[in-house]
């Protein structure tokens, strides 16, 4: 045997004995095919994070690290002596006063080394495995021109095939930690976060391996971000260069840096899914260079800031652009996209590689103003097409772009290699534009070999094992038709669905207390039902407090949260008088009205910096949102609270609504956790609501297990902190449907319209947020769809639309139309606009 396969596994894959059985069977398969195997692994999950926090001075991480490694030693029945020695070493490493970057690298890589020792020891019992120390051969480049920290903490190595290494490694199976390397003087360096992929690429190149397999928890690289577009297709084959373009344009599956050494060594890369080992995955190699024009992927990067400079002086003026770029350079800002005309230059700053704050933008504006008129446009997104000879596809792209003519497309750029084209638009338009381009540019059939199954198809395959979930209103359709016949328009609610949702929340072992955000739906019977299930209440106005106490009893007050925003002073005084816990979300209150809160317990709502959610208007964090205390004021506020004996019971953050990505809460607990040292009296983190539900076709729903694990991990590091949540939508959305009768139908050219007896006065979410609700003709539930129509209301307003281009069966006057998932923010946001009464509420 003299040919290598390198396989790489991440932290979660090496943290359990079942996972190791799978890894052993993969090794066995490669051995049987005649290959030697080099296994590259990361640190046990959670360790590198804890080490990073330890380096920021968070001493409590040490006990987490102790527990984590002893747990793993016990799981794998490893002698504690190994762990004790490793921990002694960590103590020595962290004992230094002023830690330099090399020492920092030494501490960060400790997690990989201890994982390595434990796993080698464990595997030796069942297989002949040899430990390999990669720092013998992974040596940081001496020609790196970046600053010292980058050279040490995000090191790059020069690698080429090394024949003598091949001879030295005469056994069939080796195992090495990723991430770690040395510099030419023998000091520790590391390859940056996600650097284990790069380690694996380097070693594959040194060994001139047959291939590299990176095993992860996704299927591979897709033609779009599946979260924004469930029709995204798995890309089966890619050339390295295209994969690099995709990685750089926001399609993050791989660390972009790991591609280059493979490309140079001509080593194929297979991305494989650990949970679905027989799925095809994505293969990168030189063999897949396209020969005809084609788009592979459409990616979106959010949080792009545009700077536009208008000046007639740039005409024929030598050095104008040079002077302009010098200003960016002197502020340390790297420019991403540029477009120029005779009198205007517009360029983009990408948040990913710039630290952009208001102060920097202010300095930039001030200096650029000397050259012309400056405009800064924040909250943009870049939509990038990646493919081959994209210009040749203009006939397909142009019509899509022209339908966006009423939106601004700020910049269009095309790379000179014709491998990408980018459009910069407002953030809330980006996903829509991305989907529209995907629809016309990505093939839907199997005539082009590169495209595999869609994400939705892969998801459905997975879901097939689970029983189909039939919505409650399907089973209750007869009853609903009777109700609608004389009560339309009306909302109808199923309390059992609320119970199911609350039970799901109660299964989160890491959550100590659940509050229901009443504003989602404050119907008295619904409040009572939720209260009876043992849930507390979160309110945002005195009227909500009154409603809650009227429905659920005066005694609920001690568990009510009051979270007002820009409310008058008297509301705070009244709440404190009633003994209700108040959340303060503006420094103004603590300075101007401190006397109200002296000797009282309060919660502080912090702004974690960047909001999330399904629409710009529901993101409730970040500087574009009016909520929360900004980070730079916290030191002063901590002093002010001490001065007036204001007891901070806990910290709060609520970053948006309809969030399906569990990582959002990791950012929140990490941020709030990092603020805890300023408020030593705090015993609670309220991480807000915003838990998303399955709403759009293809939504996966929030991964509860992963969500709970994030919170459990946090609590194991902060054993004295209680975690609270305050969801609204999650509890009630699925429980309600809006029923309305068809009034009239209309055809305008190709466009059908179905008119209902209620519209935006009952349900404003589609008009306000572009929200998508499933719409069914309840009178014809078993009939086939025959045409597409816009479902509209009777209001004098163009935005009075409940659904666009819906596939409907033949629909007639008097049919009952059902708009699903309207239990949250439906009735509670309704109005009397046009003096039309909104739909009434009926509990089943």
- Least separation in angstroms between residue 520's CB and ligand PLP is 5
Cβ(506)–Cβ(706) under 8 Å? Answer: no
Query: 662 in helix, strand or coil?
Result: coil
The residues near 480 (Cβ < 8 Å, ≥ 6 apart) are 473, 492, 737, 739, 778, 816, 818
Say if CB 84 and CB 90 are below 8 A apart. no
Question: From the CB of 732, what's the least distance to ligand PLP, in Å?
Answer: 8
Closer to ligand PLP by CB, 272 or 605: give it: 605
Torsional class of 100: left (φ above 0), alpha (ψ -120 to 50), beta (otherwise)? beta
Among 221, 517, 637, 721, binds ligand PLP (CB under 6 A): 517
Q: What CA–CA distance (Å, rounded) separates 499 from 515?
A: 14
Work out the number of other CB atoms within 10 angstroms of the CB of residue 188: 22
Cβ distance to ligand PLP smaller for residue 488 or 501: 501
Answer whether 683's CB lies under 8 Å from 720's CB: yes
Positions 98 through 127 that interact with ligand PLP (CB under 6 A): none
Per CB under 6 A, 419 contacts ligand PLP? no
Q: Looking at beta carbons only, is 101 or 658 nearer to ligand PLP?
A: 658
- Listed in order, strand segments (DSSP E) in 42-141 are 130-131
Written as one string, the DSSP assignment of 586-615 is: -HHHHHHSHHHHTT-EEEEEB--S---SSS
Whether omega before 489 lies within 30 degrees of 0, making that bond cis, reads yes
**Rounded (10°) angle between helices 524-532 and 542-552:** 60
Asked if residues 380 and 306 have their Cβ atoms less than 8 Å apart, the reply is: yes
Residue in the block written with tokens 């202010």: 362
Q: Which of 229, 300, 454, 657 binds ligand PLP (CB under 6 A)?
A: 657
Least gap, CB of 585 to ligand PLP (angstroms): 8
Q: Which of 245, 726, 800, 815 binds ligand PLP (CB under 6 A)?
A: 726
Q: Which stretch binds ligand PLP (CB under 6 A): 49-57, 164-172, 419-427, 723-731?
A: 723-731
Closer CB to ligand PLP, 134 or 564, in the complex: 564
Query: Closest separation between CB of residue 652 and ligand PLP, Å?
Result: 7
264 vs 828, beta carbon nearer ligand PLP: 828
Q: Which two tokens stand for residue 200?
A: 């694996």
Which sign does the torsion angle of CA 777, 783, 785, 786 carry? negative
Query: Least distance from C-beta 823 to ligand PLP, angstroms?
Result: 11
User: Per CB under 6 A, which of residues 810..829 are in contact with ligand PLP?
Assistant: 824
Give yes or no for residue 523 binding ligand PLP (CB under 6 A). Answer: no
CA nearest to 649, candidates 680, 673, 674 = 680
User: In this structure, are residues 132 and 37 in contact, taking their beta carbons and an 8 Å threshold?
Assistant: no
Starting at the edge strand found earlier in the chain, the sheet holding 237-238 runs 130-131, 173-177, 36-41, 4-9, 211-216, 269-273, 282-284, 237-238
| Smaller CB separation from ligand PLP, 512 or 797 | 512
Give the residue, chosen from 101, 220, 628, 728, that forms a contact with ligand PLP under the rule CB under 6 A: 728
Q: How far apart are CA 566 and CA 211, in angstroms?
A: 59
Q: Which is nearer to ligand PLP, 231 or 657 (CB)?
A: 657
User: What track of x and - describes contact with ligand PLP for positions 767 through 806 (by CB under 6 A)?
Assistant: ----------------------------------------
CB of 3 to ligand PLP, least distance (A): 54
Asked if 654 touches ligand PLP (CB under 6 A), the answer is yes
| Shortest distance in whole angstroms from residue 636 CB to ligand PLP | 23
- Compute the least distance from the CB of residue 653 to ligand PLP, in Å: 9
Site for ligand PLP in 154-193 (CB under 6 A): none
Return the beta strands (E) in 186-239 as ranges: 188-190, 211-216, 233-235, 237-238
Least Å distance between CB 785 and ligand PLP? 31
Measured from the CB atom, the residue of 314 and 537 that comes closer to ligand PLP is 537
Q: In the set 9, 455, 724, 730, which binds ligand PLP (CB under 6 A)? A: 730
Q: How far is the CB of 627 from ligand PLP (least distance, A)?
A: 8
Stretch that binds ligand PLP, among 20-28, 53-61, 525-533, 725-733 (CB under 6 A): 725-733
Stretch that binds ligand PLP, among 189-197, 356-364, 480-488, 514-522 (CB under 6 A): 514-522
Structure tokens at 37: 């195997």
**DSSP symbols for 402-463:** HHTTTS-EEEEEE-TTSSEEEEEEEHHHHHHHHHHHHHHHS-SSSSSTTEEEEHHHHHHHHH
Distance set, CA 736 to CA 51, 140, 766 (Å) = 46, 60, 16
* Binding track, positions 666-705, relative to ligand PLP; x by CB under 6 A: ----------------------xxxx--------------
Which stretches of 228-310 are assigned E, i.e. beta strand? 233-235, 237-238, 269-273, 282-284, 294-310
| 3-state SS, residue 688 | coil
What binding mask, one character per residue, do residues 545-584 give for ligand PLP by CB under 6 A, x or -? ------------------x---------------------
Residue 611 CB, nearest approach to ligand PLP (Å): 12
B/e letters for 618-642, b = 16+ CB within 10 Å, e = fewer, are: bbbbbeebebbbeeeebeebbeebe
* Binding residues for ligand PLP, total number by CB under 6 A: 18
Nearer to ligand PLP by Cβ, of 305 and 655: the residue is: 655
Site stretch for ligand PLP (CB under 6 A), options 476-484, 521-529, 728-736, 771-779: 728-736
- Report yes or no: 13 and 274 within 8 Å, Cβ to Cβ: yes
Within the chain, how many helices (H) and strands (E) appear? Answer: 29, 34
Residue 522 beta carbon to ligand PLP: minimum distance, rounded to whole angstroms: 12
- Please identify, using beta-carbon distances, which residue of 8 and 765 lies nearer to ligand PLP: 765
Closest CB 733 distance from ligand PLP, rounded Å: 8
Q: Mark 601-640 with x for binding to ligand PLP (rule: CB under 6 A) and - for no binding.
A: ----------------------------------------
Q: Contact with ligand PLP (CB under 6 A): which of 520, 535, 582, 763? A: 520
Nearest Cα residue to 371 out of 327, 306, 431: 327
- Distance in Å, CB of 766 to ligand PLP, minimum: 17
CB of 300 to ligand PLP, least distance (A): 23
Which strand (E) or helix (H) includes residue 373? strand 373-388
Kindly tell me which of 424 and 820 has the beta carbon lying closer to ligand PLP.
Answer: 820
Which is nearer to ligand PLP, 488 or 841 (by Cβ)? 841
d(CA 85, CA 363): 52
How far apart CA 561 and CA 581 sit, in angstroms, is 5
Segment contacting ligand PLP by CB under 6 A, of 90-98, 289-297, 329-337, 517-525: 517-525
Pick 134 or 628: Cβ nearer ligand PLP:
628
Q: Which of 257, 729, 765, 773 binds ligand PLP (CB under 6 A)?
A: 729
Residue with Cβ nearer ligand PLP (542 or 688): 688
| Shortest distance, position 381 Cβ to ligand PLP, whole Å | 22
Q: Residue from 36, 68, 519, 718 that binds ligand PLP (CB under 6 A)?
A: 519
**Torsion, CA 69, CA 71, CA 76, CA 78, rounded to 10:** 60
Per CB under 6 A, residues contacting ligand PLP are 517, 519-520, 538, 540, 563, 654, 657, 688-691, 726-730, 824
């Amino acid at each position: 045997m003299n040919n290598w396969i390198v396989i790489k596994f991440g932290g979660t894959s090496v943290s359990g004995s079942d996972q190791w059985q799978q890894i052993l069977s993969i090794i066995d398969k490669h051995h049987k095919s005649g290959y030697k195997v080099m296994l590259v692994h990361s640190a046990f999950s959670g360790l590198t994070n804890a080490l990073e926090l330890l380096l920021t001075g968070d001493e409590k991480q040490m006990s987490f690290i102790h527990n984590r490694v002893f747990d793993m030693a016990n799981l794998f029945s490893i002698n504690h002596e190994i762990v004790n020695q490793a921990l002694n070493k960590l103590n020595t490493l962290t004992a230094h006063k002023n830690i330099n970057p090399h020492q920092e690298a030494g501490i960060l890589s400790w997690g990989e080394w201890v994982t390595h020792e434990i796993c080698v020891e464990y595997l030796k019992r069942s297989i002949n495995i040899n430990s390999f120390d990669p720092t013998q051969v992974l040596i940081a480049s001496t020609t790196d021109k970046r600053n010292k920290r980058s050279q040490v903490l995000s090191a790059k190595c020069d690698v080429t095939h090394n024949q003598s290494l091949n001879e030295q490694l005469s056994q069939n199976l080796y195992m090495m930690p990723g991430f770690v390397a040395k510099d030419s003087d023998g000091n520790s360096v590391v390859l940056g976060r996600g650097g284990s992929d790069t380690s694996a690429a380097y070693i594959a190149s040194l060994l001139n391996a047959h291939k590299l397999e990176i095993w992860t928890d996704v299927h591979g690289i897709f033609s779009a971000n599946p979260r924004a577009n469930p029709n995204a297709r798995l890309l089966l084959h890619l050339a390295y260069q295209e994969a690099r373009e995709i990685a750089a344009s926001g399609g993050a599956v791989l660390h972009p840096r790991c591609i280059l050494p493979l490309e140079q060594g001509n080593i194929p890369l297979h991305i494989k899914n650990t949970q679905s080992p027989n799925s095809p995955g994505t293969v990168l190699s030189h063999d897949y260079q396209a020969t005809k024009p084609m788009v592979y992927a459409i990616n979106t990067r959010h949080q792009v800031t545009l700077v536009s400079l208008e000046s007639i002086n740039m005409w024929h003026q030598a050095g104008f652009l040079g002077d302009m770029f010098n200003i960016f350079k002197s502020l340390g800002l790297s420019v991403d996209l540029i477009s120029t005309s005779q009198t205007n230059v517009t360029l983009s700053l990408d948040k990913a590689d710039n630290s952009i704050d208001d102060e920097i933008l202010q300095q930039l504006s001030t200096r650029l103003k000397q050259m012309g008129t400056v405009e800064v446009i924040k909250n943009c997104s870049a939509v990038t097409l990646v493919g081959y000879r994209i210009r040749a596809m203009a006939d397909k792209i142009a019509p899509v772009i022209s339908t966006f003519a009423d939106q601004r497309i700020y910049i269009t750029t095309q790379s000179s290699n014709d491998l990408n084209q980018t459009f910069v638009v407002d953030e809330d338009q980006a996903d829509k534009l991305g989907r529209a381009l995907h629809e016309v540019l990505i093939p839907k059939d199997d005539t082009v070999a590169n495209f595999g199954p869609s994400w939705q198809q892969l998801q459905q395959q997975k879901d097939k094992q689970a029983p189909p979930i039939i919505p409650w209103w399907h089973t209750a359709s007869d009853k609903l038709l009777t109700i609608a016949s004389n009560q339309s328009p009306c909302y109808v609610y199923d309390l059992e669905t609320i119970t199911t949702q609350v039970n799901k929340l109660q299964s989160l072992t890491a959550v100590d207390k659940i509050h229901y955000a009443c504003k989602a739906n404050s119907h008295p019977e619904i409040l009572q039902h939720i209260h009876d299930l043992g849930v507390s209440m979160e309110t945002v106005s005195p009227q909500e407090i009154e409603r809650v106490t009227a429905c659920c009893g005066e005694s609920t007050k001690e568990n009510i949260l009051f979270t007002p925003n820009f409310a008058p002073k008297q509301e705070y005084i009244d709440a404190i008088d009633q003994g209700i816990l108040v959340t303060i979300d503006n420094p103004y209150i603590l300075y101007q009205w401190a006397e109200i809160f002296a000797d009282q317990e309060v919660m502080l709502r912090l702004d974690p910096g960047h909001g999330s959610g399904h629409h710009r208007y529901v993101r409730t964090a970040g500087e574009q949102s009016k909520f929360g205390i900004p980070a730079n004021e916290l030191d002063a506020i901590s002093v002010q609270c001490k001065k007036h004996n204001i007891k901070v019971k806990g910290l709060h953050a609520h970053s948006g609504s309809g969030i399906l990505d569990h990582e959002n809460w990791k950012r929140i607990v990490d941020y709030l956790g990092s603020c805890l040292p300023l408020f030593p009296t705090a015993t609670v983190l309220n991480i807000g609501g915003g838990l998303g539900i399955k709403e759009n076709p293809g939504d996966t729903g929030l991964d509860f297990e992963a969500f709970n694990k994030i919170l459990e991990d946090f609590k194991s590091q902060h054993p004295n902190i209680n975690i609270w949540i305050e969801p609204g939508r999650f509890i009630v959305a699925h429980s309600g449907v809006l029923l309305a009768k068809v009034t009239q139908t209309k055809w305008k050219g190709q466009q059908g319209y179905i008119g209902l007896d209620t519209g935006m006065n009952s349900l404003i979410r589609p008009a306000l947020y572009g929200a998508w609700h499933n719409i069914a003709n309840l009178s014809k539930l078993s009939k086939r769809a025959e045409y597409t129509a816009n479902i509209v209301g009777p209001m004098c307003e163009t935005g009075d639309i409940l659904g666009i281009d819906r596939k409907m069966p033949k629909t007639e006057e008097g049919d009952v139309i059902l708009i699903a998932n309207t239990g949250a923010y439906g009735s509670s946001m309704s109005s009397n606009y046009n003096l039309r009464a909104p739909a009434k509420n009926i509990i089943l």
